[in-house]
Amino acid sequence: MGRMKRHTISYVSFFLCQMLVLGGCSESGVIGGRSMEPVAVLDFTVPSSSPNVMTDLGGYSLESEKYAYLRINESAGAVEAFRIVDMESGETVYEGAFSLAKNNASLLAADFSELTKPGFYRVECETYGCSEVFAISEDLYGQLSDKTGSAIRESCRDLSADPHTVLDYLQAYEWYADILNGSQDETDTGIVSGAPDELVCVRDWISGRDYEGSVGTEAVVYSTILAKFSFLYKNYDSALATECLRKASSIYSQSGNVVKSDSAAFRALAELYRASGESAYEAELENYKEFFSSKDVHPDEGYMYGAMTYIVTRQTVDRELCDMLVDSILTDAQSINNRKREITDPMYSQTGGSGEMIGYIRTLMCANYILKGYEYDRTMQMMLHYLSGLNVESSPYEPGPEDEGVFYLIYSCMAALEREGKL
């Protein structure tokens, strides 16, 4: 997948564990289990700072499948077994045999799914050394969701949150509110609105932003946020929800962004139509049928989430358009699923980069939402494993401010699956 971003790893537990293993694995005679060969050499094709045994540095869910990969180096000799060492006790808590990785003769796979005790561990084997430290945690994705959500709520309160982050945050709330633990809001007048903190922080962000003069795509995004917020907040404060919807309509009208087959406009129209039921928005949405009738259409983020909103609205919908939207998303999801092993191959990933893989996960989440099932859960987790260290650089992708929202959405999705015992 090309070279991934290198960042200071933010996982606090990872820092704590690293302090325990600064000396690396030296018992086998390989200093720290590291290679000094350059990246281009296929035996030990990693930077000197990376281990030969790749693991998910973000951690593993308690009951999920757990596996690591070892890069094969013929000059190092054969290795058949691996062990999992508990970093607190120093004891070996699991032993297993390597197997050939599927579709990649350069890798051996270590499956330790049977290890379900929470703690901090590393994989060790003869000659090659060891992996970095990783955690096995109960409610892993719930913890990541809570951490990311807390950061977004803080950025909403200080008005620094990016609009696209806010939009992903609201999407996560809409889909997975049942796993989010928000507190109720008490207004300055002492009246309890009952609104969860997840929505209150967005309310404060909206009230503190100056979006009246926005135009083009920026205006379209603001109108989408206001319309979605209006729909989600109407049961807590109908007057405020109505005012937000009025502003959403006004901003969309002034945006000038009414070009058909524009995904941002499509998403805004879907939110405006669901919240208002106005026939003018319905008519504009139906104009997209010609665009979606093409078999070469591959919906991007705006189209997919707009489709999700449109097909679940209680307003009158065009059944033919719904079928087109659903078919296009499910077709792309199945194509991605069919390629899951080549996409997540640790050595030779067939993808354009982390952004493209995140886009794949978005598609699979939408497909699962449509199907109301769990057909693509495993594929999503494989992609998260790749992004979290099961890649040629053994380097986790650290979400920046620009993609905090989508990772909150992803973590919330995975937390829901985790708590339902689907991972």
pLDDT in single tens digits along all 423 residues of the chain: 443 433 333 333 333 333 333 334 544 333 233 332 333 222 323 344 568 899 999 999 999 999 999 998 877 778 999 999 999 999 999 999 999 998 888 899 999 999 999 999 999 999 889 999 999 999 999 999 999 999 999 999 999 999 999 999 999 999 998 876 654 454 444 444 689 999 999 999 999 988 877 878 888 999 999 999 999 999 999 999 999 999 999 999 887 655 555 899 999 999 999 999 999 999 999 999 988 888 777 888 999 999 999 999 999 999 999 999 999 999 999 999 999 999 999 988 888 888 999 999 999 999 999 988 778 999 999 999 999 999 988 889 988 888 999 999 999 999 999 988 887
* The pLDDT of residue 204: 96
Give burial (CB, 10 Å; 0-12/13-18/19+) of 23: exposed
1 in a structural domain: no
Q: Nearest to residue 391, comparing CAs of 356, 336, 355, 354? A: 354
* The pLDDT of residue 413: 94
19 in a structural domain: yes
- DSSP letter for 101, please: P
Q: Are residues 313 and 208 both part of a single domain?
A: yes
Q: Are residues 58 and 188 both part of a single domain?
A: no
Phi/psi at 250 (5° precision): -65, -45
Q: Are residues 161 and 128 both part of a single domain?
A: no
6 in a structural domain: no
| Cα separation, 18 vs 283, whole angstroms | 58
Q: Are residues 287 and 302 both part of a single domain?
A: yes
* The pLDDT of residue 216: 83
Q: Are residues 106 and 158 both part of a single domain?
A: no
* Consecutive H or E run containing 341: helix 340-343
- DSSP letter for 107, please: E
The CATH number of whichever domain residue 397 belongs to comes to: 1.50.10.10
Q: Helix or strand or coil: residue 246?
A: helix
Domain-ending residue, one of 137, 158, 173: 137
399 in a structural domain: yes
5 in a structural domain: no
Number of domains in the chain: 2
Q: Are residues 191 and 120 both part of a single domain?
A: no
* The pLDDT of residue 292: 86
Domain-ending residue, one of 111, 137, 163: 137
Q: Are residues 107 and 178 both part of a single domain?
A: no
Phi/psi at 9 (5° precision): -65, 130
Q: How far is CA 82 from the centre of its chain?
A: 30
Q: How far is CA 279 from the centre of its chain?
A: 35
3 in a structural domain: no
281 in a structural domain: yes
The CATH number of whichever domain residue 109 belongs to comes to: 2.60.40.10
Radius of gyration of the chain from Cα atoms?
Answer: 24
- Token digits of residue 144: 């990541």
- Token digits of residue 288: 């997209």
Q: Are residues 98 and 56 both part of a single domain?
A: yes
Q: Are residues 160 and 279 both part of a single domain?
A: yes
Q: Are residues 107 and 166 both part of a single domain?
A: no
* Domain interval for residue 55: 12-137
Domain-ending residue, one of 85, 120, 137: 137
Q: Are residues 133 and 157 both part of a single domain?
A: no
Q: Are residues 88 and 197 both part of a single domain?
A: no
Residue 115 CB neighbours (<10 A): 17
189 in a structural domain: yes
Q: Nearest to residue 104, comparing CAs of 138, 67, 150, 151? A: 67
Asked whether the whole model's pTM tops 0.75, one would answer yes
